[in-house]
Amino acid sequence: MIKARITAENPEANLRDYDRFYQSFSWSDIEKEFTWHETGKINIVHEAIDRWAEDPDKQHRTALIYEKSGNVQTYSYLDLKEKSCQWANLLAGYGFDSGERLFIYLPSCPEMYFAILGCARMGVLFSPLFSTLTFDEIEERLENARPRGILTNSDLCEGLPPETVKQIAHIFIIEGPLPGIFANEELIEGMPEKMQSQFSTRWVKSETPLYLLYTSGSTGPPKGVVHAHRDMAGHLLTARYVLDFRQDTIFWTDSEPSWVTGTVYGMFAPWLCGSTTVVQGDPFSASNWYRTLEKHRIAVWYTTPFTLRRLIDAGEDLVSRYDFSQLRHIAVVGEALAPELIYWVRKNLKLTPHDTWWMTETGMICLANFPSMDIKPGSMGKPVPGVEAVIVDENGNPLPPMTMGQLALKPGWPAMMTEIWLDRERYRAYFKSKGWLLTGDMAVKDEDGYYYHQGRTDDLIKAGVKLIGPYEIERVLYRHPAVNEAAVISKGVRLGEPFLKAFITVKKGYVPSARLNQELKAYVMANLSSEIALKEIAFIDGIPKTRSGKLLRRALRTQELGLPIGDPFNIKEDRK
Ligand code: ATP
Ligand code: MG
C-alpha cells in the first residue's frame, strides 16, 4: 500500500480536526442552519436562493456566471429568484403539478438552471439528460419516467423518438424556429420573461422527490435515481467541509447537471453556501479551461481525472502562461486519481488535487481527502462526517484493514437516494447485505482509515485464489512515460493463469510498436509481480468512456469477448 504522504495543504480549512469532528458530528447540527428548522417550511429553493434574495445585504451577490463563446452573463440571487418564479409560473400555466416530471434535454444554457429551480419551487421533478444521448437511450428514459414535458431545442428535438413523444403533453422548444415535427411542440422563446416574477413556493416534505437522474450506465442499463429536498443537508455539509466553501467563494465544476456532480455541486451546494458558481458553456479545450480559471478568478475547482489527463496532454508550456493565484483548492471525482496526475498538478498549478468518491445513488460526496488532512496518493480519503463506511465480504460481513472487499455505506445520511424510479426490486438489491448500501465498488482500507479504490465488482480479476482489481495494474502502467491512458481486463483463465489484456493510448511523441508492447509487459512484471503478467497489449486511439468521461471497461470486455450486450460506444482498435 502507498507509503508516500503529501502534507495537508490547508490546516486552516473549515474542517480542522477531522477525527474530533467526525466523532462529535450530528446531522441535526447542520439542519439547524436551515430556515425550515424554525419554520417547518421545507423547499430547497427557499434555502438555496430565496433566503439570500430576500436579504437586502445579500440579494445582489452573484449566484451564477454563465459563459459561452466569450459572452458572460451574470445573475444575482435576486435574479435567480425572479427567473425561477417566472419559470414556475410558465410550467404551472401548462398544467404541471407536483410529482410530475420535466426532462431537460439541452446543452448547457442559463435557462436550464432557471427551469430546474422553477421545477423545484413547485415540487416538479426535474431530470437533466446528456444532450449526446442516442435515440434508444432517450426512448428508454422517456418510457421509464413518462415526463409531462421535455425542454429542448430545435436540433435535439429532431432526434426524439416519435412514437414515445406522442404520449408526452409538451415539447418545449427554447428558441425558434419550431421544427414542425410533432403536434405537441410549443415555442416558449420570450415567454418566461412575460410571467409574474413571484410564485407561491410549494412547501414540501423532506423526502419529497426533487430530481430524477439516470446513472451513466457504465455497468448495465441506466437506473432512474431519485433524490429528495432533504439532500440539502448533505450538500451544505460537503460543500463546506470537503470543498471548503466560504461565502465569497467563486466555484467552478466543469460538469453539466446531466451528471450528478453538475446538479449537486454545480448549483445547489454553492447556492446553499451563498457563493458564486461558474458555468462554462463551451466544449473542453485546455486553453479555455485555464482561461476560465484565470478570468473568473476561480477559488475552488471541482473537476475530474479525465479533465486533468487532457490538460497534461496539452503540455507544460501552455499551463505556465496562466495565472492561478486566486485558486486555493482543487478536488476531483469520477474515477481513480492516479498519483501521476497529483504530482503533475502540484508541479504546474501549485496545488494538490484532492480526490473524492461518491455515486449518483449517494447524492453527495461520501469519502474525501479533506484540505486539512495529509493525502496518501492513490487514496480516496476517509468517510465524510455523518457517513459510516465499511469494507464487506460477499455475505455483508465487515473485513479487517488491508483486505479487499466491497465498499458499503450505512444508510442514514440525508442525501441518500429515496428510490429507483418504478423499480423497487433494484432499489432493494442495494441493501441486500445486512442493510448496508452496497456500492458495487471494490476497495481496501488501510490501518489509518484511508480507502483505496480497486475497481468495480465486475472488473475484478482472478489471479489464482487471489482477486485483484484492474486499477492496481493500470496504476503501474500509468507510471510508464509512454502511457497516456490504460484499461486492463481479464479474458478469463488460460492454463491456470489469468489472461490479462491491457488497452493503451500513448502520449504525444510516442508511437505504438512491437517493442513498446514488450517493454510495457516487462514493466508491469518488474513493478508488480510475476504472477500478474499482462499477456496481451493493444494500442488503441481512445479508451471508451461514459458521457461523464469515465473509463468503460465493460465496453472493452464486451467487444473482446464478443458478449451480447448492445453497447453504444464504438471502439476503434489499432492492433500492433
Ligand atoms: P452505473 O451505475 O450506471 O454503472 P456509474 O456508476 O458510472 O453508472 P455514477 O454514479 O456517475 O455512475 O458514478 C459512480 C461511480 O464512479 C462509483 O461507483 C465509482 O465506480 C466511480 N467513482 C467515483 N468517484 C471515484 C473515485 N474517486 N475513485 C474511483 N472511482 C470513482
Ligand atoms: Mg454506479
User: Tens digit of pLDDT for each residue in 26-73?
Assistant: 999 999 999 999 999 999 999 999 999 999 999 999 999 999 999 999
Ligand 1 atom closest to the Cα of residue 548 is 11
CATH number of the domain bearing residue 109: 3.40.50.980
Residue 216 is predicted with a pLDDT of: 66
Which DSSP state fits 264? I
Ligand 1 atom closest to the Cα of residue 355 is 27
The CB of 335 under 6 Å from ligand 1? The reply is yes
Residue 562 is predicted with a pLDDT of: 75
- Total domains, the chain: 2
Residue 573 is predicted with a pLDDT of: 31
Last residue of a domain, one of 180, 202, 224: 202
321 within some domain: no
CATH number of the domain bearing residue 532: 3.30.300.30
Residue 2 is predicted with a pLDDT of: 60
The CB of 336 under 6 Å from ligand 1? The reply is yes
Atom 3 in ligand 1: residue holding the nearest Cα: 217
Residue 247 is predicted with a pLDDT of: 81
- Give 89-120 as a DSSP string: HHHHHTT--TT-EEEE-SSS-HHHHHHHHHHH
Q: Does this model's pTM top 0.85?
A: yes
- Beta-bridge mates of residue 277: 64, 251
The CB of 550 under 6 Å from ligand 1? The reply is yes
Whether residue 265 contacts residue 232, with contact meaning beta carbons closer than 8 Å, is answered with no
156 within some domain: yes
539 within some domain: yes
Q: What is the pLDDT along the chain (576 residues), one digit of tens a residue?
A: 567 899 999 999 999 999 999 999 999 999 999 999 999 999 999 999 999 999 999 999 999 999 999 999 999 999 999 999 999 999 999 999 999 999 999 999 999 999 999 999 999 999 999 998 989 889 999 999 999 999 999 999 999 999 999 999 999 999 988 999 999 999 999 999 999 999 999 999 999 999 999 986 655 677 999 999 999 999 999 999 999 999 899 999 999 999 999 999 999 999 999 999 999 999 999 999 999 999 999 999 999 999 999 999 899 999 999 999 999 999 999 999 999 999 999 999 999 999 999 999 999 999 999 999 999 999 999 999 999 999 999 889 999 999 999 999 999 999 999 999 999 999 999 999 899 999 999 999 999 999 999 988 888 887 777 778 888 889 899 999 999 999 999 888 777 778 899 999 999 899 999 999 999 999 998 888 777 788 899 999 999 887 777 888 888 888 887 765 443 333 333 322
- Beta-bridge mates of residue 490: 500
408 within some domain: no
The CB of 164 under 6 Å from ligand 1? The reply is no
Count Cβ neighbours within 10 Å for each residue of 441-475 and write b for 16 or more, e otherwise: bbbbbeeeebbbbbbbbebbbebeeeebbbbbbbb
Outline where 300-397 has alpha helix (H): 305-313, 316-319, 339-349
Last residue of a domain, one of 202, 233, 259: 202
Task: Among the bound ligands, name the one nearest to the CA of residue 458.
Answer: 1
For 207, phi then psi, to 5°, come to -95, 10
What is the span of the domain harbouring residue 132? 43-55+79-202
What is the number of alpha carbons within 13 Å of residue 161 lying toward its C-beta?
14
381 within some domain: no
Q: How far from 323 is each of 284, 294, 456, 489, CA to CA, in Å?
A: 19, 6, 38, 40
571 within some domain: yes
Last residue of a domain, one of 179, 202, 225: 202
Closest among 396, 361, 366, 402 to 381, alpha carbons compared: 366
For 104, phi then psi, to 5°, come to -115, 105
Residue 4 CB neighbour total at 10 angstroms: 12
3 within some domain: no
